[in-house]
Structure 1
Amino acid sequence: MDLKKTEAPVSTITIDKDLVDAPTDNIYEAISIIAKRANQINTEIKKELIEKLEEFATYNDSLEEVFENKEQIEVSKFYERLPKPHAIAVKEWLDGKIYYRDTNADS
């Protein structure tokens, strides 16, 4: 997932309920699908952030020393400025990029 190219809004916006529940005809099911995708996105972002921060990790026996690494701070600031996972998930849902299926209808 390329986070730099996401078009999700950084701030909160109002979305028409009819647009959200149009694919499923059930607002609760739509929100459940969006929430599951937001959890997936959050896990991906967290994993990516931890991997990048591990590159800058310095291990010392002394707990009193604190090192400020400018690259580490920049990486952290980049991830803080990203849209929130739920905003990315809603954008993907409205764009029709989330695959889902009704398991009750399949059986």
Structure 2
Amino acid sequence: MPIRTLDTNALAEQTGNLYESLVVLSKRARQVASKTKGELDQKLSYFEDLSLDPAEELRSNEDQLRISLEYEKRPKSPDMAVDEFESGELYFRNPTRTDNDF
């Protein structure tokens, strides 16, 4: 995936502060990564409970590899967070600010 440069001024506009925008992005990226990891772990947990003979174990390993590669091809969590932020899909708030501060 190619590297994409971001307009820092556009990122700062949404929150009023570039660093606050980066905090929002990093928190959302962690949420997305955690959700994705949970989904992957749930799919792979099926294979942990199986006790197979060696011939079936090879097939099981291939299935696990296929599932893992499927998740590797998905967009990365920081990219998804930036896309959501830029399109205005993210809801965020600063609990220390009042409505008059922004």
- Superposed pair shares fold, TM > 0.5: yes
Amino acid corresponding to residue 90 of structure 2 in structure 1: I
Query: Unaligned stretches of 5+ in structure 2?
Result: 52-56
The structure whose Rg is larger is 2
Structure 2 CA distance for partners of 1:49 and 1:19, relative to 1, 3 Å: same
Larger helix proportion, structure 1 or 2? 2
Range moving further from structure 2, 27-36 or 66-75: 66-75
Equivalent in the alignment of 2:54: none
Give TM-score, length-normalised by structure 2: 0.80
Equivalent in the alignment of 2:20: 29
Amino acid corresponding to residue 90 of structure 1 in structure 2: V
Matched, 1:94 2:86: yes
CA distance in 1, matches of 2:32, 2:2: 17
Equivalent in the alignment of 1:40: 31
RMSD of aligned C-alpha atoms? 1.9
Give TM-score, length-normalised by structure 1: 0.76
Q: How many residues get paired? A: 93
Please list, as runs of the form range in 1=range in 2, the aligned pairs for 1:3-14 lying within 5 A after superposition: 10-14=1-5
CA distance in 1, matches of 2:67, 2:92: 33
Higher relative contact order (CA 8 A, sep 6+): 1
Structure 1 residue 74 displacement after superposition: 0.9
Give identity over the alignment, percent: 31
CA distance in 2, matches of 1:30, 1:105: 15
Amino acid corresponding to residue 17 of structure 2 in structure 1: N
Equivalent in the alignment of 2:98: 106
Alignment counterpart, residue 48 of structure 2, candidates 57, 61, 76: 57
